Amino acid sequence: MNFLSNFIKGIFIGAGAILPGISSGVICIVLGIYEKLLDSILHFFKNIKENLYFLLPIVIGGILGCILFSNILVYFFNTIPMQTKSLFIGLLLGSIYILYKTESCNTLKVNNRTNLLGYLSFFICFIIGISLIYIENNITMQNQYYSNEYSSLFLVLSGFLMSIGIVVPRCK
């Protein structure tokens, strides 16, 4: 039963890896396996059999989730793009509350100073997100070698910010 449960969680993690704006790390936190997954990977050789039994169904499910959801995602973006984008915005906004209520991330509630720093960090990230939307809509460079409409600066900045968001740091 545990194998099947981890396999299904792996499918969700794999789907999160390809969904725009959704991190697999956030999905791991929501599913409650982030700490164990991280410990299993970091200390893999200490107990290979137990870690392999935990990681194998997640990896297989993740690969299957990437394959299944990539085709579904392309279909929905082509047929109902506005509704699909709105769904992802809702998933992102809904995950904020879950992350806030996670036991290991309650350090923002310790005192007023850390709470203020948490709100300040959120505000700065919000401004960065709005700025990226502005950059995407207003700064374009025509390049004869690439057929897309995005500038090189925007693509580099987006890639940098995305790579930061892929790994969710431990909150302890």
Give pLDDT, residue 38: 85
Q: pTM for the whole thing? A: 0.59
- 3-state percent helix, strand, coil for the chain, nearest multiple of 5: 80, 0, 20
- 171: tokens are 């909150």
pLDDT at 172 over 60: no
The CA angle 117-104-128, to the nearest 5 degrees, is 40
- 57: tokens are 């169904």
In which band, very low, low, confident or very high, does the pLDDT at 166 lie, cut at 50, 70 and 90? Answer: low
| Domains in the chain: boundaries | 1-101, 106-172
- pLDDT by residue (tens digit) across 134-148? 776 666 555 455 455
